[in-house]
Amino acid sequence: MSRTVDDSRLRIWLQQVAEGDTRALRHLYDALAPSIYRFALSRLDDPHEADGIVSEVMVQVWQQAGRFEGRASVLTWVLGIAHHKVMDVWRRTRRDSEELDTVRPARPLDQALSETVTPAVEGEHAALNEACQACFDACLAQLPPAQRQALYLALVEEQPYQDIARILDCPTNTVKTRVFHARRFMQQCMAAWRREKAV
Amino acid sequence: MTQASQTMKPQHAHLDEETLIACLQNRLSDQARRSVEAHLRQCDACRQALVDLRQLQRQLQAHYAAHHPAPETWQQVQARIEAHRDKVVPLRKPASSARRWTWLGATAAAVLFAVQLVLIQQADLRQQTGYAPLGASQHERLHIWVRFAPSADSRTITTLLRHYGLTLDSGPDSAGRYRLALPAGADEQTLQRTLKALRQRPEIAEALLP
């Protein structure tokens, strides 16, 4: 999603937050909370936990706005904070036994398709699009969380690889590898769905 | 701009993913863009890769556009910053690395010591009375009594409490209810909103005001 608020505006609000301005914090919240939430969701896949991350990150932004050094964009800085919070939740909860880069058990494509509207009701084209999106969602859910998160940052937040590496606290080559594998997996998963529809 | 896009590649080599994404998102310099466009005119595989990437980006954006933070999250942030209003870090130049680590170490040690002290005191008092102690600030906090559904496990309950900024204050009473404290500074409106939200949660069998 292209950013509706540019970085210079975010920096002004952040400076105002550092001076104790709660209205500026509200502006920052409106601009950044959806990104923080979706970023957390891309790893944790749990809306309640993602809400908790938004809350914690914004409180930390309020407390530590004065520590922003301006070496990266405000979004990169905030998502970096979010990443640490997400990983705390990840380690604390059931994920400690789950490998970050392991593909999850496949959700059968039939199941994804059966949850879509029947062509007779909504029209064949609309149903196909909906089925396609349902199948896309199913494929995305199977992606290893670390790859899904890198893909989210690259294609939804449109962050350069170097900034993704900064957010995820990993080498740029790891980002490249994760995005590459994520994209390949999604292509293969969707191709399998198309083959199934063609039969 | 990406490192990949800075490098002029031979026309026959395929474009790498980072360059294709940068191209898709208009992050290439003029020179790199001209080079990429020249390559795309000749290379069907890279053109197709770009089309596939654009499609993937659209589907991902459509998927995530449907997800938003819960409306009450801002209220939680407000309540929590009210509690921390005096702890805002003033705008200042960054400390040197060595000083920062010394400061962090000292703070961490102090926090750990304070937490341990409180935990020990609470454990003692709980042992004596069966209830958690109330701090001075907790006397002013608003409370809700809840009975958790039998299916709610400890992890779910912990997540739920964190989600609404609640802390387990005391309980269970003879009816199996726990007293939950709202964040310091939470007002009557937040209390009613939280109560209403809790009553809709499957993890909560019953939610009452004291």
Report the distance separating Cα B158 and Cα B163, nearest Å: 8
Q: Report yes or no on B99 lying in a domain.
A: no
Which are the contacts of B179, defined by CB distance < 8 A and separation ≥ 6?
Answer: B143, B144, B145, B168, B169, B170, B171, B173, B210
**How many distinct structural domains can be found in chain B?**
2
Tokens 């309950």 locate to B157
Tell me the HSE value of B98 on the side-chain side, using a 13 A CA sphere: 0
Q: Which domain holds residue B43?
A: 3-65
Q: Which chain B residues are closer than 8 Å to A133 by Cβ? A: 59, 62-63
Q: What is the ipTM of this complex?
A: 0.81
Among B45, B65, B85, residue at a domain's last position: B65
The encoded tokens of residue A112 equal 């994804």
DSSP state of A117: P
Report the distance separating Cα B122 and Cα B133, nearest Å: 6
Selection from A59, A61, A74, A63 nearest residue A12 by Cα? A74
Structure confidence by residue, pLDDT tens digits, B75-134: 999 999 887 665 555 444 444 455 555 566 666 666 666 656 555 555 554 444 334 433
> pLDDT tens digits, chain B, 210 residues: what are they?
444 444 444 456 889 999 999 999 999 999 999 999 999 999 999 999 999 999 999 999 999 999 999 999 999 999 998 876 655 554 444 444 555 555 666 666 666 666 565 555 555 544 443 344 333 344 468 889 888 887 776 667 777 787 888 877 777 777 778 888 888 888 888 888 888 888 888 888 888 888
Interchain pair B94, A69: CB under 8 A:
yes
Q: Which chain B residues are closer than 8 Å to A179 by Cβ? A: 17, 21
Which fold does the domain A7-97 belong to in CATH?
Answer: Rna Polymerase Sigma Factor; Chain: A (1.10.1740)
Give the CATH number of domain A109-198.
1.10.10.10
Distance from A199 to chain B by nearest Cα, in Å? 23
Report the distance separating Cα A29 and Cα B77, nearest Å: 9
Question: pLDDT above 90 covers what percent of chain A?
Answer: 62
For position B150, what pLDDT does the model report? 76
How many Cβ pairs within 8 Å bridge chains A and B?
Answer: 131
Structure confidence by residue, pLDDT tens digits, A12-60: 999 999 998 999 999 999 999 999 999 999 999 899 999 999 999 999 9
Range list of H helices, A107-156: 109-114, 119-122, 124-142, 145-151
Tell me the HSE value of A109 on the side-chain side, using a 13 A CA sphere: 16
Least trusted range by pLDDT, from A81-90, A103-112, B56-65: A103-112
For position B109, what pLDDT does the model report? 65
Which are the contacts of B152, defined by CB distance < 8 A and separation ≥ 6?
Answer: B160, B203, B204
For position B102, what pLDDT does the model report? 59
Q: Report yes or no on B119 lying in a domain.
A: no
- Give the CATH number, domain containing residue B163: 3.30.70.80
Interchain pair B56, A155: CB under 8 A:
yes
Question: pLDDT above 90 covers what percent of chain B?
Answer: 27
Neighbour-count burial of B195, counting CB atoms closer than 10 A to its CB (0-12 exposed, 13-18 middle, 19+ buried): middle
